[in-house]
Structure 1
Amino acid sequence: MEDGLIVISIDVADGAEAAYHAWHQAHIREVVDAVPSIVGARRYTLGAPESAAPPSPTSRFLALYAVAGGDVAAARAAIAAASAEGRVTPPPPGVVAGAVTLPYEAAAPIVD
């Protein structure tokens, strides 16, 4: 069971969606394999908004990493270390136009 989440909102360069999907599908597996406290990951694509106003943030892609043990900062540091060691592949040049990483720790027990 996860005790925290790492949420990454991702902007992809125009025309680079296919390269992004090919890279990111492999990338999330690398992160899960490289960081023991990451117990799962899932990719999302923004669906059609329910109102005329665009959602905020307006990034079309989202990745969620489930963190066990509650130490989200340590998981983020482990991802950075795995990247520096070459165990996690960075995006190809020109594919990711921007990304925002938001760490969340559980505020209450899960409701079943």
Structure 2
Amino acid sequence: MKIRKYDDEKGRYIMVAHDHIAYRYEVLEVMGQGAFGQVLKCRDHKTNEMVAIKILRRMKDDQTSMTEVKILEALLKKDKDSSTKSVQMKDHFIFRKHLCIAFELLG
């Protein structure tokens, strides 16, 4: 029996097409990668919307990765009517020891 490895040697999540994240988001494709993680195009099966999920590299210091979430939450509080036209965070959660941030999917 083979055990699935979820991270590569650098702590990046190994994406598998049509896998489900947090029993809610179906992975469709990789949209981009960067130094701190990757962005996946996913279907939200709870709302039936397409979303972008940023999966950050697994880090030892959770506080460092939560800084981005705190900034996004502050932006949401200040911009309730979306007048600034900044990307909107929909959700955030930990999945397989990775911080995941769900955003509205933009063009």
Q: Which has the higher helix share?
A: 1
Q: Which has the higher strand share?
A: 2
* TM tier relative to shorter chain: 0.3 to 0.5
Normalised by the length of structure 2, the TM-score is 0.34
